[in-house]
Structures are given as structure tokens and as C-alpha cells.
Structure 1
Amino acid sequence: MSLKKTMIMFSLSVIAVLSACNGASTEEKIYDHLEEAVTLEAAFEEQQKPIVDLEKKEQELYAQIIDLGMDDFDKIKDLSQQAIETIEKRSDKIGKEKESIEASKDEFVKMEDLVDKLEDKKVKDKAKEMYDAMMKRYKAYDSLNKAYRNSLKLEKELYTMLQKEDVEQETLTDHISKINDSYQNVLEANKKFNTCTTTYNALKKEFYQAAEIEVEYDNDTSADKKDTKDDKKD
């Protein structure tokens, strides 16, 4: 099994606020929380390339293992241990990623009480819609995180099995099937997270427009997480 993926660059980075009108005080406070939430996800984004690099390394190790026969069992054990170490490093990166998302959420929810203070109904309705979309995004990330961690657990179990000389082929085949199923769950959870991210980004822009908060974006198009997957072959 190999899994190639890039992580999400979800944020719409704002270079500068040019002006704010119509109840600027409350709306600017909401703006501050929104952009601070983006800033707090910086650590989330920083984990992306290292995770991808570790995934590629694990794929290379697995490819080497399946090319070896039992006459090279010592080499299989060594490569399997290296693979386990990459999985542990990925788990650490995923932990930092989750901490970043949780910090972002803690900041984001601070805007909830401010929404009721908005006087313009159109602006308030858009703010509520945006808030709900982001909360769905956080929930989608939790599901994605759990699915990914489950896959890491199953992969680690596989490489532990490969270090046992008496492991049966049928046992390995069944476990590889479980890993492939788990990564299908990851892909589905990832797709939902991407959808939530795209929806939130669009609503955030609409809120700024409705509130007449003029901003200049560093990048108008957020890049979703893109995954491709080749199953593990027994």
C-alpha cells in the first residue's frame, strides 16, 4: 500500500484591512478572531510537507520489503523497524496538527457572542452561516484525524507482524486488507474536510463583503488536500 497525499492549505491570508463600515467595532472584533484563527493554524500547515515526506519514505521501505524473500529476513526486520519509526514520527506530526486545529477552534468560537451584537440582519445571517460552516469543518477534521490515526495503528501492526518469522501469509493478507479499507475511510473523511474548508472560505469572503470590510487576499483560491492512493499489494 502506498498513500500519496498533500495536506490542506486552507487559509485565505489577509494582507491588510483597507476599511470597515457599518458597525465597524463589532465586525472588526469578529474579523480579528477570524484572522487569529487562521494564524493559529500555521502549525497545522507546517506539518504538511514533513508528513508527506515521511509517507513517501514509508512507501519506499514497504516496496523494498516486498521485494525480499525469507532468506533476507534480517533485512526485512530492519526495514520494518525503520517503517515503524516513520509511523511514530507521522503520529507526532499529526498530534501537532491537531493541537493547532484545537487552538484555532478555541479562538474562532470567541466570535459567537459577537454575532448577536451585529445590527444588520444580512450581515448577522451571513456571520451565523459562516460560523456554522467552520464548526462543521472542525468536526470534519476530528473525523479525519481519527481515521488517519487508525490507519497509522494498523500500519504499525503490519510492520510488527513482518518482524515475526513465523507469520502466515493469510494473516498478512487479511491485515493489509484492513489497512486498505482504513485508508478508504481516510480518503472519504478527507474529501468531506475539503468540502467544509471550501464552503467556509467562500462564506468568510461573503461575510467580509456583506460587512463591507475590504480586505486584500494573499491567495484567492485555497488549495484543498489532494490524496491519491495505491493499495498495498500482498
Structure 2
Amino acid sequence: MRSICLVVWVLLLCSCGVSAEDGIYNKLEKVASLERTFEREQQPLVKLEQEEKEVYHQIISLGMGETEKRKELSAKAQSMLDTREEHLKKERNSLLTSKQEFEKVKPLMRKVKEESLKIKSAQVIAIMQKRYDIYDILYGQYTTALQKDRELYKLLEKDIFELKEVERKINEINETYVKVLKLNQVFNVHTEQYNDAKERFYKESGLKIKVERAIAE
């Protein structure tokens, strides 16, 4: 998933005092910094997904008589699921913290006087709110996917199981991850839109900025 960009340098061109625009800048950059944990969790999650996929392929390559090995690998995969859940919770907590900070921006944006700035600030709020809403849905789908993964591994731990039941569970998992992928793409689009809207607001406010984009796929 993509993360919001952080403005690392700024020169105020228009005012010496602290304006509403200055306050908004400070809050928005704090929001960006609070998402650093969210950004850091991306790589471990992807790595764990890949490692678990390898274990899954080892399991399905086993013969029906290799029960003990299948149980061992299924237990290993479930342990990986536990770790994925831990990283996912850290990711979500980071987003929730940034969302709480973002709420503090709204009163400041209502103090903006210039009409063109009001429009741009409203765009920033609307896009970011949509981004948070999409993440909530994405988090729910990812959590569902993890639950279905766990159900599959518990099924594969059994001494005897129906292949049709395994196939049904695999189809459910695949359908859920398709939804996760699509939601992730939508989330990335809204992140880019938010970054662009924020930069437009800064420039319209008379801020000269240098932007560092920290992107996590």
C-alpha cells in the first residue's frame, strides 16, 4: 500500500505570524509522520505472505499418507498467520492514530478565509476521509482472509478430510484475496490523490515546499 508523502522542508512566503494555513501544515505533516509505522509494516507483511505461500505449496504437494509432515507444516503456517495479524494490528493502529490527528485539522480549515483555499482544503478533507473509509473495508477483508487461511490449515491438520471441502475453502480464500487486491488498489489511488491535493493546498497557501515521497507498495 502507498503511504502519504511527507514535506521535509518549507519556507513561508506570505506571513510572519502563525496563520490557519501554518497550523494546517503542521497538523498534516504530523499526520504523515504518524503513518511511518504503517509504512514500515508493509515489507514484513509482504515477506510473510510470500513465505507462507511457500509453506502452503509444500503442504499441497504432500501425499495423503504424509499426515505428520502435513500437520507440522500446517502448524508452521498458522504461526505465520499469527505474526501477520500482529503486523496488521500495528498497521491499523498507525492509521487510527493518524486519523485522530487528522480530525484536529478540520477546525483549522474552517478558519481559512480565502475562497480558493477553502475549496482546496475541503478537497483534502474529503479525499483523506474516503481513504480512511476504504482502509477500514480493506482491513476487514484482510482479516477475513486470515481467518479463512486459518480454517484451511486447521482442515489440513486432520488425519482425514474431504478434498472437495479443501477445494471449497481454497476458492473462498482466493475470492477474498481478489477483493483485498482491488481494495488495495483503490486505497493507493486515494493516497496519491490526497498527496496531490495536499501539495496543491500548500502551494496555493504561499508555501514553498520540497516533498519527500515515501512509497510502500
| TM-score in terms of structure 1 length | 0.89
1:11 aligned partner, one-letter code: I
Alignment of 1:38-117 (within 5 A): 38-117=32-111
Instruction: After superposition, give the CA deviation of every residue in 1:26-68 in whole Å (9 maximum; x if it has no partner).
Output: 1010001100001110111111111111111101101111111
2:10 aligned partner, one-letter code: V
Alignment of 1:70-219 (within 5 A): 70-219=64-213
Instruction: Report the alpha carbon displacement of residue 223 of structure 1 after superposing the two structures with TM.
Output: 3.7
Choose which of 14, 31, 34 in structure 1 pairs with 2:7.
Answer: 14
User: CA contact under 8 A between 1:130 and 1:200: conserved in structure 2?
Assistant: yes
> Which moves more between the two structures, 147-156 or 47-56?
47-56
Equivalent-residue separation in structure 1 for 2:120 and 2:216 (angstroms)? 23
Deviation above 6 Å: which 4+ runs of structure 1?
none
Instruction: After superposition, give the CA deviation of every residue in 1:101-139 in whole Å (9 maximum; x if it has no partner).
Output: 000010011010111211111111100111111000000
Instruction: Report the alpha carbon displacement of residue 13 of structure 1 after superposing the two structures with TM.
Output: 1.8
Equivalent-residue separation in structure 2 for 1:76 and 1:86 (angstroms)? 15
Instruction: Report the alpha carbon displacement of residue 224 of structure 1 after superposing the two structures with TM.
Output: 6.2
Gaps of 5+ in 2: none
User: CA contact under 8 A between 1:73 and 1:165: conserved in structure 2?
Assistant: yes
Equivalent-residue separation in structure 1 for 2:70 and 2:206 (angstroms)? 62
Equivalent-residue separation in structure 2 for 1:187 and 1:133 (angstroms)? 20
Instruction: Report the alpha carbon displacement of residue 183 of structure 1 after superposing the two structures with TM.
Output: 0.6
Equivalent-residue separation in structure 2 for 1:216 and 1:86 (angstroms)? 40
Instruction: Report the alpha carbon displacement of residue 198 of structure 1 after superposing the two structures with TM.
Output: 1.2
Equivalent-residue separation in structure 1 for 2:71 and 2:206 (angstroms)? 62
User: CA contact under 8 A between 2:74 and 2:157: conserved in structure 1?
Assistant: yes
Q: CA RMSD in A?
A: 1.4
Instruction: After superposition, give the CA deviation of every residue in 1:52-110 in whole Å (9 maximum; x if it has no partner).
Output: 11111101101111111022110010000000010111011101100000000100110
Equivalent-residue separation in structure 1 for 2:148 and 2:9 (angstroms)? 45
| Partner SS, residue 17 of structure 1 | strand
Which residue does 1:36 correspond to in 2?
A: 30
Which residue does 1:3 correspond to in 2?
A: none
Equivalent-residue separation in structure 2 for 1:101 and 1:52 (angstroms)? 18
Instruction: Report the alpha carbon displacement of residue 148 of structure 1 after superposing the two structures with TM.
Output: 0.5
Equivalent-residue separation in structure 2 for 1:101 and 1:189 (angstroms)? 16
1:188 aligned partner, one-letter code: K
2:79 aligned partner, one-letter code: E
Aligned length: 216
The percent identity for this pair of structures is 36
User: CA contact under 8 A between 1:65 and 1:80: conserved in structure 2?
Assistant: yes
| Partner SS, residue 68 of structure 1 | coil
Instruction: Report the alpha carbon displacement of residue 19 of structure 1 after superposing the two structures with TM.
Output: 1.6
User: CA contact under 8 A between 1:123 and 1:211: conserved in structure 2?
Assistant: yes
